[in-house]
Structure 1
């Protein structure tokens, strides 16, 4: 009983530390400037106000949300399509240098993304894609090493006998992939989709570098841009952060089992 109590106390303390920053964001976003200066950060403002949220939405932030939704949808679709084809080729097709090419590609996960930002920007500049949707999407649209690794591990775990039976019936690689492998891969595809949605929504560095206009600006860059020349308006910035946070919290609560499953797929299989 003592050990169980100590375990739950530790878990509750860890959960509180994790949730407390988000609670501060919500509390600050629903306070007036006078309430913010007259109360402790963890005290709610009474009565709560939604004026900060309304002011943020009427300052162009709604357009940033639309841009982020469009970017997230495009990247998720691209990841699911191109990653699936590449992973199936690495898992099932036989060609010279397959394993060497795969592990060289996966090894790029060891390179920090900040190292490749300048070369990517120079490439986009030479292609005249700076501040365009193509420049924003290009580095991630055709798949990522993590996504290909995740799907390859899942494909390799599927029984090869199913594919052999399909080949006996005259099915080619594309037919096998579309009609046999993909219907069995819905859990892995769901996992990849959720991870892509979260990473795309939270992406900050590349959109900050490659975009400069409101037509392609996303929420993370929009929140950073709320800092004025005089200083930071805590109410406005936390209101914008709260608006950007709500969709991701909803996605996590609804699909958290897929996120946990991604660890199982890549770690055990």
Structure 2
């Protein structure tokens, strides 16, 4: 093994350790008592480990917050897949006046930070009496995002036009062409969009924090932030909540890492 290869592997190992270390601290702190947290180094496990922190969370309202997050993630993902696909197909294949201008105006909204639109969105939801409701929580994002539409549009434009033309000659309409001809070829792009939407929805914090205030619609990220109350901070309890919130994303990575790698390649190419 050459010196260059040794240095390369050493750099990769150091980068991997730096990336994983914060998650290791979350796991170690979640299984420590307050006394162990103050008496041991952060990177050392507590002996003996304790499940009290997880028990305190799971014995309260935290399971309801997990269920709320799952519902939000599933609904947003389904909405993104359906509405994004239809919009992308219209921009890629259908011809109508102002199509390209409308598309690029919509894409221009990607340059606007999401935090800038939070106050206008909240005011709209307040006027519609949708604050602290599921409708208000889901409405701004369930109909698609500029990035998702751009990704699917580019994938549609990369498919051979002859397939669609042959189907039209056989009498197929636009909906039949989309559902029976193009969508089966779009599985890589749909997988990419699904992974991106699941991760972003599960980790969403700012909009749920602004639009929700009751337990019926509170999600995991907001619930973890709410653990920091009063004068002190219960780091053990917060890290236990972080561990519970992190576990589904780790499961997604373990079971779908092949598709995640494919999605990274696809998004890089597009």
Q: TM-score, normalised by structure 2?
A: 0.97
Q: Please say which of residues 29-38 and 218-227 is displaced more in the overlay.
A: 29-38
- For residues 96 and 264 of structure 1, what CA distance do their matches in structure 2 show? 34
- For residues 69 and 174 of structure 1, what CA distance do their matches in structure 2 show? 30
1:198-247: CA deviations, max 9, x gaps? 00000000000000000000000000001121211011000000000000
Partner of 1:161: 162
Contact 1:149–1:266 (CA<8 Å) still a contact in 2?
A: no
Q: CA deviation at 1:187?
A: 1.3
- For residues 95 and 258 of structure 2, what CA distance do their matches in structure 1 show? 33
Partner of 2:188: 187
- For residues 187 and 95 of structure 1, what CA distance do their matches in structure 2 show? 28
Partner of 1:79: 80
- For residues 262 and 247 of structure 1, what CA distance do their matches in structure 2 show? 19
**Superposition RMSD on alpha carbons, in Å?**
1.0
- For residues 146 and 268 of structure 1, what CA distance do their matches in structure 2 show? 14
Partner of 2:119: 118
Contact 1:195–1:259 (CA<8 Å) still a contact in 2?
A: no
Is 1:64 aligned with 2:65? yes
Contact 2:32–2:45 (CA<8 Å) still a contact in 1?
A: yes
Any residues of structure 2 matched to 1:37-48 within 5 Å, and which? 37-48=38-49
- For residues 72 and 226 of structure 1, what CA distance do their matches in structure 2 show? 22
Partner of 2:140: 139
- For residues 184 and 104 of structure 1, what CA distance do their matches in structure 2 show? 28
Counterpart secondary structure, 1:59: coil
Contact 1:153–1:265 (CA<8 Å) still a contact in 2?
A: no
- For residues 17 and 202 of structure 1, what CA distance do their matches in structure 2 show? 21
Any residues of structure 2 matched to 1:1-40 within 5 Å, and which? 1-40=2-41
Contact 1:29–1:242 (CA<8 Å) still a contact in 2?
A: yes
Counterpart secondary structure, 1:216: coil
Q: CA deviation at 1:255?
A: 2.1
The ranges of structure 1 where at least 4 consecutive aligned residues each deviate by more than 6 angstroms after the TM superposition are none
Aligned length: 269
